Amino acid sequence: MVMSAQSDALRVLADPLRRQIVELLSREQLCNCHLVEETGARQTNVSNHLRALREAGLVETEPQGRYTYYRLRPDALERLAAELSDLARAARTRELPKRACE
Amino acid sequence: MVMSAQSDALRVLADPLRRQIVELLSREQLCNCHLVEETGARQTNVSNHLRALREAGLVETEPQGRYTYYRLRPDALERLAAELSDLARAARTRELPKRACE
DNA sequence: CGCTGACATCACCATAGTCTGATACTTTAC
DNA sequence: GTAAAGTATCAGACTATGGTGATGTCAGCG
């Protein structure tokens, strides 16, 4: 399907902890250890969520020695925002017709 | 929390069937029976998802005789889109600083 | 009235997804 | 070399949630 990427991004962003990680990364590039510290979650847990975010194309990694820095990929967020905005606009521009029943 | 509403909207939109319902409603005002027909899901299932969408403020209802018409509330979608767009912009406007490890 | 159809609600089940502990891998410090 | 720290991966337990059938409510129609 065409929108599978955006749907995936939506699904991934729906988790509260991932959502928090994304917000933290929108201000700074951080490595796993910082995220563990900020969120209070276990390292394993953070790492799992980072993988989900990575596979959805929402973040990218930059290994640096034994640390791994994570940063947001704005494009994915931007595409998602645009799609939602389109839906909102479609629903607002006109008085939508009601389909008749039966 | 301040953003609970948006988080809720995200979570609710993450489900594929709800997502499909939202897209259908962006083109027409439909009642439950149309949505059942269009999605192929059971009436109970559609009704449950419509409740989730309603509680998240994404749709509103207009009872009309024994039918209930549903329509999108563009504002909720717009707010969500704006928030995601803000995150994307924050991540893109500058080369984000890396917090030091140790 | 009772009957039918549209929709909502409830309780239950099955599944997906999250969290966790154990463990492996890699890099740096000693 | 060994030890320690940061990160990734894996299997299992637990939880949340979507799907379902049974049932209830309400409006229109005979």
- Please state, in angstroms and rounded to a whole number, the distance separating the CA atoms of residues B85 and B70: 27
Nucleotides of strand C lying closer than 7 angstroms to a protein CB: 5-11, 17-23, 26-28
Residue A47: count of CB within 10 angstroms of its CB: 14
Average pLDDT for chain B: 91
Looking at the partner chain, which of B14, B74, B87 has a beta carbon nearest the beta carbon of A14? Answer: B14
Question: Rounded to an integer, what is the distance from CA B68 to the centroid of its chain?
Answer: 19
Q: Which tokens in the block code for residue A50?
A: 């980072």
B70 and A3 in contact (C-beta within 8 Å)? no
| Range A4-82: architecture per CATH | Orthogonal Bundle (1.10)
Interchain proximity B19–A7, CB inside 8 Å: yes
SS3 call for B26? coil
Residue A7: per-residue pLDDT = 78
Residue A67: per-residue pLDDT = 95
Fold classification of B4-75 is: Arc Repressor Mutant, subunit A (1.10.10)
For residue A57, is pLDDT > 80? yes
Which run of H or of E encompasses B72?
strand B67-72
Residue A3: per-residue pLDDT = 45
For residue A100, is pLDDT > 70? yes
Least Cα distance to A34 among A71, A9, A60 occurs for: A71
SS3 call for B101? coil
Residue A78: per-residue pLDDT = 96
Q: Residue A52 CA to D16 C1' — how many Å?
A: 18
- Please state, in angstroms and rounded to a whole number, the distance separating the CA atoms of residues A97 and B4: 32
Q: What is the pLDDT of residues B49-72, one digit of tens each?
A: 999 999 999 999 999 999 999 999
SS3 call for B95? coil
Residue A11: its chain B contacts at CB < 8 A? 14
Q: What is the mean pLDDT of residues B39-48?
A: 97
Residue A94: per-residue pLDDT = 66
Residue B94 pLDDT grade (very low, low, confident, very high; cuts 50, 70, 90): low
For residue B93, is pLDDT > 80? no
Domain ranges of chain B: 4-75
Q: What is the mean pLDDT of residues B5-12?
A: 87
- Please state, in angstroms and rounded to a whole number, the distance separating the CA atoms of residues B11 and B39: 20
